[in-house]
Amino acid sequence: MAHDHAISEQDLRDGLAAAAETLAHRRVSYAVIGGMAAGYRSQPRFTKDIDFLLRVPQVELPALLESLQKKGFEFDELTTIREWTQEHMTTLSYHGIRVDWLKPVIPVYQHILERATDENWLNHTIRVASAEGLILLKLLAFRTQDLLDIENLVAAQRERLDLAWIRAEWQTLAPLDDPRMVRLMNLARGEKSS
């Protein structure tokens, strides 16, 4: 499935546009998340994959996969359907680029999906998770790159961030004194991260 070539920004953009166009055409509720979305909402950065949070009814999944296959996406159909229905996530490939799907199985993910906005990006209308939604996803993953993305999102969006919404959603997952939330609140106040 994967190709042995360097991933280019153009391949990433083409994959994002093709996926977004297909998802919109099939009326799938989706939001771009991950590094591409974080870069869109703050400082552009290179990433090696495309990430989506999406809700697609199981009965519509085969037709969606067929449409994506016609656009150049590669996957094993049976594996993809099994992973999506049982594990609530799956991976496709577009010209060697990993395309991750995550199903909104917990309320926070559903709320992130609902808050996504249509943006004019790459000459297409593409739904992108809000900065607040991305921050929540990044707080949950909490890897080194996620911390950098959170810092960039806070720096770029500080005056516009709905911190009350982030705190309310976070409280459904963990206490407000969780070190991840404390770190976010310190960043939002302009304190340096340690």
Q: Has residue 194 been placed in a domain?
A: no
pTM reported for the whole predicted model: 0.93
Q: How many other CB atoms are there within 10 angstroms of residue 181's CB atom?
A: 18
Interacting residues of 76 by C-beta distance below 8 A, sequence separation 6+: 1
Q: Has residue 3 been placed in a domain?
A: no
Q: Has residue 96 been placed in a domain?
A: yes
Q: Which domain, by its residues, includes 91? A: 9-188
pLDDT of residue 119: 97
Q: Has residue 112 been placed in a domain?
A: yes
Q: Has residue 1 been placed in a domain?
A: no
Q: Has residue 116 been placed in a domain?
A: yes
For residue 42, what is the domain's CATH number? Answer: 3.30.460.40
**Would you tell me the crossing angle of helices 131-141 and 107-115 to the nearest 10 degrees?**
150
pLDDT of residue 4: 47
Going residue by residue through the chain (194 aa), what tens digit of pLDDT does each one get?
444 467 888 999 999 999 999 999 999 999 999 999 999 999 988 899 999 999 999 899 999 999 999 999 999 999 999 999 999 999 999 999 999 999 999 999 999 999 999 999 989 999 999 999 999 999 999 999 999 999 999 999 999 999 999 999 999 999 999 999 999 999 999 876 65
b/e per residue 85-97 (b: at least 16 CB within 10 A)? eeeeebebbbbbb
Domains held by the chain: number: 1
Q: Has residue 72 been placed in a domain?
A: yes
The SS3 call for residue 114 is helix
